[in-house]
């Protein structure tokens, strides 16, 4: 038996201002920091001894992970960072206010870009060349659908998360709304259409218990 805990970062400054974010590296708000620590305290009641924690290259997730590990007194465990757990890339929508985009394109298109599996948001003309992605040997995408995000995330599940869970090692993943939707879709075998109704809330831990074949024995949402 093993447990996998998924947590979306606490409220970010872009969540607060209702701004499209994706790979923009925005900070947590004070409320977001407090919520991440509280998420850790809730997790603490389950007394899970994590063998490793995994997060993205984005500071809102990294900082949330640190706060959770601090709350459960497990800062000493290995912490792995990967671009594969980054948020789905919102392309040219990033930095734009959601209400402005919704007004410009209408409810249907707005919701397609946000929650459908296949819709690709408008692409960026140019992408910055950040050291973190150069070191990882990748180019930042110009935009991603949820499917594209899922395609780059699932190798991390196959190579890093699934083998550890099969070996009975409990794992913590702190990531983002849509990168976690992609993971939930895979784990729960949700259809391409069904995923548009799935939301992963800030700082609300989702706790899966698996058997050694990674069949789900239990799912708890610590809201
Ligand atoms: O902007 C984003 O990157 C995401 C997550 O905050 O927003 P949404 O929930 O609209 O997909």
Q: Is the torsion defined by CA of 148, 196, 7, 120 positive or negative?
A: positive
Query: Rounded to an integer, what distance in angstroms lies between the CA atom of residue 61 and that of residue 119?
Result: 25
The pTM score is 0.97
CA of 88 to the centre of ligand 1 (A): 8
List active site positions.
Answer: 9, 87
Q: What angle do CA 188, 194, 195 make, to 5 degrees?
A: 70
Nearest Cα residue to atom 5 of ligand 1: 177
CA of 62 to the centre of ligand 1 (A): 17
10 is in an annotated binding site: yes
87, 111, 117: residue to mutate for ligand 1 pocket, most atoms within 8 A of CB: 87
Amino acid 68: pLDDT: 98
Could you identify the residue written with the tokens 């995000």? 149
23 lines ligand 1 (CB under 6 A): no
Q: What is the pLDDT of residues 43-61, one digit of tens each?
A: 999 999 999 999 999 999 9
Is 124 in contact with 91 (CB distance < 8 Å)? yes
11 is in an annotated binding site: yes
Amino acid 140: pLDDT: 96
Q: Where do the domains of the chain lie, and which CATH numbers do they carry?
A: 2-221 (3.40.50.1240)
Give this complex's ipTM. 0.94
15 lines ligand 1 (CB under 6 A): yes
Could you identify the residue written with the tokens 């548009």? 196
Is 7 in contact with 204 (CB distance < 8 Å)? yes
């Amino acid at each position: 038996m093993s447990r996998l805990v998924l947590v979306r970062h606490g409220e970010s400054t872009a969540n607060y201002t209702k701004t499209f974010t994706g790979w923009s590296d925005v900070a947590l708000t004070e409320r977001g920091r407090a919520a991440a620590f509280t998420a850790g305290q809730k997790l603490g009641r389950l007394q899970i001894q994590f063998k490793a924690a995994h997060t993205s290259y984005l500071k809102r997730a990294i900082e949330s992970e640190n706060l959770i590990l601090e709350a459960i007194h497990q800062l000493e465990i290995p912490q792995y960072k990967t671009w594969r757990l980054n948020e789905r890339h919102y392309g040219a929508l990033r930095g734009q206010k959601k209400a402005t985009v919704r007004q410009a394109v209408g409810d249907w298109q707005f919701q397609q870009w946000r929650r459908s599996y296949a819709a690709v948001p408008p692409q960026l003309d140019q992408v910055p060349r950040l050291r973190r992605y150069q070191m990882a040997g990748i180019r930042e995408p110009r935009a991603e659908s949820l499917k594209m995000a899922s395609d780059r995330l699932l190798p991390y599940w196959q190579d890093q998360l699934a083998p550890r869970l099969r070996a009975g090692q409990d794992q913590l993943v702190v990531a983002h709304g849509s990168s976690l939707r992609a993971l939930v879709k895979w784990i729960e075998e949700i259809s391409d259409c069904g995923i548009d109704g799935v939301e992963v809330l800030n700082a609300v831990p989702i706790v899966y218990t698996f058997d050694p074949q990674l069949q789900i024995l239990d799912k708890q949402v610590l809201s």
